[in-house]
Amino acid sequence: MSATTHAHREQSRPLWSTAAAALPQALAKLDPRHAVHTPVIFVVWVSAVVTTVLAVVHPSVFSVSVALWLWATIVFANLAEAVAEGRGKAQADSLRKAKVEARARRLRADGSEEEVPGAELAIGDLVVVEAGQVIPGDGDVVEGVATVDESAITGESAPVIRESGGDRCAVTGGTTVLSDRIVVKITTKPGESFIDRMISLVEGAARQKTPNEIALDILLTTLTLIFLLAVSAIAPIAAWSGARPSLIVLVALLVCLIPTTIGALLSAIGIAGMDRLVQRNVLAMSGRAVEAAGDVSTLLLDKTGTITFGNRRASEFLPVAGVSVEELTEATYLSSLADETPEGRSIIDLALESLPAGAVRSSEDLAREGAVVVPFTAQTRMSGVDLPDGTEVRKGAGGAVAAWVKDNGGREESEPVVLADGIAAAGGTPLTVAVRRPGQPPVELGVVHLKDVVKPGMAERFAQLRAMGIRTVMITGDNPLTARAIAEEAGVDDFLAEATPEDKLALIRKEQEGGRLVAMTGDGTNDAPALAQADVGVAMNTGTSAAKEAGNMVDLDSDPTKLIDVVGIGKQLLITRGALTTFSIANDVAKYFAIIPAMFVTVFPGLDRLNVMRLASPESAMLSAVIFNALIIVALIPLSLKGVAYRPLNASQLLRRNLLVYGVGGVVAPFIGIKLIDLVVSHLPGLA
């Protein structure tokens, strides 16, 4: 079972079940050595210790209740982090089961083999792996070609091709060779393989706080100090006014006013963000990469396989004067029946859309009728079919077909050349079709337009990115004319034609000079410098080891279009963090105005006008606020794990929506919640 498959199972489990499983870990995190890493929660921990001591020294329903709920607040904060970590640990356990300690057939200098444990392999060792054997370590194929089962990592059951000398040479330790024989050059040390790094990352052991998290920690710590000073000032002011609030009341007030909600959920939000990437088969090497994806303002996308399908596809049949489209379509269809290339299959698909049922035949039908297939060769640059009645059909490069027509007594025509030139000028590839009927000279029927077809929906996706303020740049090795045609059809903002590795690197640096963050994908060794330079470099799992080492993310599915999803996940992470921070601070402000009037209404009767909730007593008000402070963390755990729903809006629209939903909601929620809780706790003995 792959890590991502296990991740989906974890996601489908009810949250209460996941929380129950994580509760022991949450209790273990009550250790002060863990709490000290989160300043806000550490203040709550100290407050819980102080109130516990006071409850023992001066026991009462109020003091004991406050102490218990403060400990519950810490447990709930730990629970959010434990649930998020639990999902990652489940994925890590699945990966450990997939990890196989294999024996390796290491090649000696003289070409002979020796069998050694996989753990003894060193960087640079050459090992032989044949069908049915497990690849003992990460490396690159340096000899041979084979099909490999990578389902333990990617979850994809279909085998993949790995071969030497290209961008699909990287293999992962623990995967299985299904056919043929390859020689692999080991590129990692034992214990540092791709699976080992995946295990470490998904279970959170390698996760470090990102710059935004550190900045937010500083903000929360500052707010905590401000509220600590504010609460400290209340005691002398109250004493001067004739009221003497107890220490336990002041401690409880401090906990209610500091930003405990976001402090409790901050770590869970970050872990859940990386978890969402893993669910999409993308492995982030650091939380910084996920966060950077949310701030990306320029996307560099390869044309082939990302914006377009990669394989040229037939888009149009263009007959010469005097030839019907139906005649050209049928001739092209017959000449392509034995063509197994992607282009040939696309010609068949296009022809079948308009051919009448009686004209549709299969290659088996032609063989039974006695037709002879003429395969494509590099020398002839043509393919076709010779039918039983003597009719010969040819399809291929314009010059080759024209030469065949001339050699067999036909005339050169200018119209096919004009049609072909027009297709080439538009960035397409022309194929000429000709036919020779019995007793007649061959004639050219027309031209097939092959084009690198833009994937459906790409223009809409780029429009969404544009609405988010993200600039898209298409990178291609095509000439500028072809690149411009594809760029206009796809709807990208700019393009880089005839791009070399140096051109990519220069473009990224130019974009970054303006303070923009850049994301790109790549799979080859020549992409490694650009992947390393980009703020978000997504390397394809099928690519070379150099590419995967250079990038800070690896796409296990090797789907270049997933870069757009990665940006969306990064933005969702930032939006979730911002939304819950807004809600938490708004909560604190609302609680201040909800609690203080109830606490001092007996001393300052004028505050009764602000006591809009009409809480039963100062003790009931304080305990209700402490309980609400704990329960709101539990209520927000699902949102912190799932993430705030992301919509492609610009920054000002997002800010407006954030303030309206989570700012106003954060102000209103405490008034409603504390009042409802007060209706219950006010009936407890000693709190009426």
Whether residue 545 is annotated as binding a ligand: the answer is: no
User: HSE on the CB side for 462, CA within 13 Å?
Assistant: 24
Whether residue 383 is annotated as binding a ligand: the answer is: yes
Q: If DSSP codes are grouped into helix, strand and coil, which group holds residue 220?
A: helix
Helix or strand holding residue 165 (H, E):
none
Give me the amino acid identity at 185.
K
Instruction: For residues 371 and 422, state if they share a domain.
Output: yes
Domain for residue 498, yes or no? yes
Domain for residue 410, yes or no? yes
Instruction: For residues 360 and 440, state if they share a domain.
Output: yes
CA separation for the pair 18, 142 (Å, rounded): 45
Burial environment of residue 280 by CB neighbours within 10 A (0 to 12, 13 to 18, 19 or more): middle
Query: In the 3-class helix/strand/coil scheme, how is 226-270 assigned residue by residue?
Result: HHHHHHHHHHHHHHHHCCCCCHHHHHHHHHHHCCHHHHHHHHHHH
Tell whether the model's pLDDT for residue 98 goes beyond 60.
Answer: no
Band of pLDDT at residue 101, cut at 50, 70 and 90: low
Domain for residue 197, yes or no? no
Whether residue 533 is annotated as binding a ligand: the answer is: no
Q: Which of 644, 615, 608 is nearest to 265 (CA)?
A: 644
Whether residue 326 is annotated as binding a ligand: the answer is: no
Whether residue 377 is annotated as binding a ligand: the answer is: yes
Q: If DSSP codes are grouped into helix, strand and coil, which group holds residue 605?
A: helix
What strands lie across the sheet with 298-302, from one edge to the other? 282-284, 553-555, 536-540, 518-522, 298-302, 471-475, 494-496
Instruction: For residues 329 and 447, state if they share a domain.
Output: yes
pLDDT value of residue 230: 82
Let me know: does 450 contact 311? Beta carbons within 8 Å: no
Whether residue 464 is annotated as binding a ligand: the answer is: no
Q: Which of 207, 194, 193, 200 is nearest to 286 (CA)?
A: 207
Instruction: For residues 70 and 218, state if they share a domain.
Output: yes
Q: Which of 298, 359, 299 is nearest to 328 (CA)?
A: 359
Domain for residue 228, yes or no? yes
Tell whether the model's pLDDT for residue 255 goes beyond 80.
Answer: yes
Phi and psi dihedrals of 195, rounded to 5?
-65, -40
What is the per-residue pLDDT across 603-656, written as a single tens digit (0 to 9) for each? Answer: 666 666 766 777 777 788 888 889 999 999 989 988 888 888 877 776 777 788
Q: If DSSP codes are grouped into helix, strand and coil, which group holds residue 538?
A: strand
CA separation for the pair 176, 90 (Å, rounded): 23
Whether residue 188 is annotated as binding a ligand: the answer is: no
Q: If DSSP codes are grouped into helix, strand and coil, which group holds residue 450?
A: strand
pLDDT value of residue 446: 92
Tell whether the model's pLDDT for residue 503 goes beyond 70.
Answer: yes
CATH of the domain at 181: 2.70.150.10
Instruction: For residues 445 and 322, state if they share a domain.
Output: yes
Instruction: For residues 251 and 291, state if they share a domain.
Output: no
**Segment among 13-27, 433-447, 513-527 with least mean pLDDT:** 13-27
pTM, 2 dp: 0.66
Instruction: For residues 493 and 614, state if they share a domain.
Output: no
Residues 14-29: what's their mean pLDDT?
A: 73
Band of pLDDT at residue 126, cut at 50, 70 and 90: very high
Instruction: For residues 327 and 432, state if they share a domain.
Output: yes
CA separation for the pair 448, 455 (Å, rounded): 20
Output the CA angle 179-193-161, nearest 5 degrees: 25
What is the per-residue pLDDT across 543-597, written as a single tens digit (0 to 9) for each? Answer: 777 778 888 888 877 777 787 888 888 888 888 888 888 998 888 888 877 777 7
Which of the 8 DSSP states describes residue 391? -
Whether residue 678 is annotated as binding a ligand: the answer is: no
Q: Which of 503, 462, 496 is nearest to 478 (CA)?
A: 496
What is the per-residue pLDDT across 654-667, written as a single tens digit (0 to 9) for each? Answer: 788 888 888 888 88
Which of the 8 DSSP states describes residue 410? -
**Residue 86 in tokens:** 């639990």
CA separation for the pair 507, 475 (Å, rounded): 10
What strands lie across the sheet with 382-386, from one edge to the other? 313-319, 443-451, 429-436, 392-396, 382-386, 372-374
- Give the residue with greater pLDDT, 152 vs 425: 425
Whether residue 468 is annotated as binding a ligand: the answer is: no
Domain for residue 192, yes or no? no
Domain for residue 298, yes or no? yes
Helix or strand holding residue 91 (H, E):
helix 61-98
CA separation for the pair 227, 40 (Å, rounded): 11
Rg (CA), the chain: 34
Question: Which of 421, 453, 485 is a domain's end point?
Answer: 453
Range picked from 237-241, 423-427, 442-446, 535-539 for highest mean pLDDT: 442-446
What is the per-residue pLDDT across 398-412, written as a single tens digit (0 to 9) for each? Answer: 888 999 998 888 887
Instruction: For residues 507 and 444, state if they share a domain.
Output: no
Whether residue 382 is annotated as binding a ligand: the answer is: yes
Instruction: Report the Cα–Cα distance between both ends of the chain, in Å, rounded.
Output: 58
Phi and psi dihedrals of 301, rounded to 5?
-125, 130
- Look over the chain and give the mean of its residue pLDDT values, rounded to a whole number: 81
Whether residue 380 is annotated as binding a ligand: the answer is: yes
How many distinct structural domains can be found in the chain? 4
Instruction: For residues 511 and 533, state if they share a domain.
Output: yes
Strand residues in 45-149 grouped as ranges (E): 103-107, 113-117, 126-130, 139-149
Query: Which residues touch 356 (CB under 8 Å, ≥6 apart)?
Result: none
Query: Which residues touch 572 (CB under 8 Å, ≥6 apart)?
Result: 273, 276, 294, 643, 644, 646
Domain for residue 563, yes or no? no
Whether residue 31 is annotated as binding a ligand: the answer is: no
Query: Which residues touch 61 (CB under 8 Å, ≥6 apart)?
Result: 684, 685, 686, 687
Burial environment of residue 122 by CB neighbours within 10 A (0 to 12, 13 to 18, 19 or more): exposed
Whether residue 378 is annotated as binding a ligand: the answer is: yes
Domain for residue 94, yes or no? no
**Segment among 202-216, 257-271, 352-366, 517-531 with least mean pLDDT:** 202-216
Tell whether the model's pLDDT for residue 297 goes beyond 60.
Answer: yes
Instruction: For residues 378 and 440, state if they share a domain.
Output: yes
Residues classed as catalytic: 302
Question: Which residue range forms the structural domain that includes residue 145?
Answer: 103-136+138-187
Tell whether the model's pLDDT for residue 12 goes beyond 50.
Answer: no
CA separation for the pair 401, 682 (Å, rounded): 94
Question: Which of 402, 423, 453 is a domain's end point?
Answer: 453
CATH of the domain at 385: 3.40.1110.10
Let me know: does 401 contact 331? Beta carbons within 8 Å: no
Instruction: For residues 448 and 313, state if they share a domain.
Output: yes
CATH of the domain at 506: 3.40.50.1000
Residues 160-164: what's their mean pLDDT?
A: 82
